[in-house]
Amino acid sequence: MQFVIAPVGNGVFWTMAAITVLACAAPLLVIRRDGLAVSMKNVALSALLILPFTMTLAYSVHDNALRVEGGRVLLRAAHFYEHDRPLSDFDLDAARAGSYGAIPEARLGTRRNGIHMPGYTAGRFKGAGDGLVFAVLTDRSRVVYLPAKVGPALLVSVEQPERFLAALRASRPAPG
């Protein structure tokens, strides 16, 4: 069963655009030393190197997927991160849906490996206490937190969080 991850807001793209412009314009800082012609050539070269990277990243933040099938949860974020776990690894009775601020145990700590910018968070983070969290946050008002019995917890922005939680609980493996 496929679930829609909440769409990414414009803040992500404005942040990437600002980073791109600043990185491409950095050679202008040495304009007095190198002269205008050399500095403009370096601006063009940096744009040639930086634009493909930021355009790929901008495209990839839209490529998020969430599926529940065969007793497993598969979450993919931005071409770079994938999390595939059995439902039995999660404490579905303690799972919560709501806004990010209303779920204190879902607080993200230090980024272990991931992307974190205004409007988009994906990857592995230190969670509350000593736990780890795999997160894909695009809309902090629609979040599902799945605490883990084993391994990292899961934190994901879903279009319909209550429907997602109901589907998880309905497809939970039988105890035993």
> What pLDDT does residue 137 have?
94
Instruction: Kindly report the three-state secondary structure assignment for every residue of 15-55.
Output: HHHHHHHHHHHHHHHHHHHHCHHHHHHHHHHHHHHHHHHHH
Question: How would you classify residue 140: left for phi > 0, otherwise alpha for psi between -120 and 50, otherwise beta?
Answer: alpha
Helix (H, G, I), strand (E, B) or coil at 4: coil
> What pLDDT does residue 173 have?
62
107 contact partners, CB below 8 Å, separation of at least 6: 127, 128
Single out the residue of 22, 82, 74 nearest to residue 47, CA to CA. 22
Residue pair 148/90 in contact by the 8 Å Cβ criterion: yes
> What pLDDT does residue 146 have?
95
> What pLDDT does residue 126 have?
93
- The ranges assigned to domains in the chain are 87-170
> What pLDDT does residue 73 have?
92
Q: Which residues on adjacent β-strands are paired with residue 134?
A: 124, 154
| Residue 98 DSSP symbol | E
> What pLDDT does residue 163 have?
92
Digitized pLDDT (tens) for each residue of the chain, 176 residues in all:
899 898 888 888 999 999 999 998 888 887 778 788 888 888 899 999 999 988 888 888 888 999 998 889 999 998 888 999 999 999 999 999 999 999 998 899 999 999 888 889 999 999 877 889 999 999 999 999 999 999 999 999 999 999 999 989 888 766 65
Helix 36-60 to helix 10-25 angle (10° resolution) is 160
> What pLDDT does residue 94 have?
93
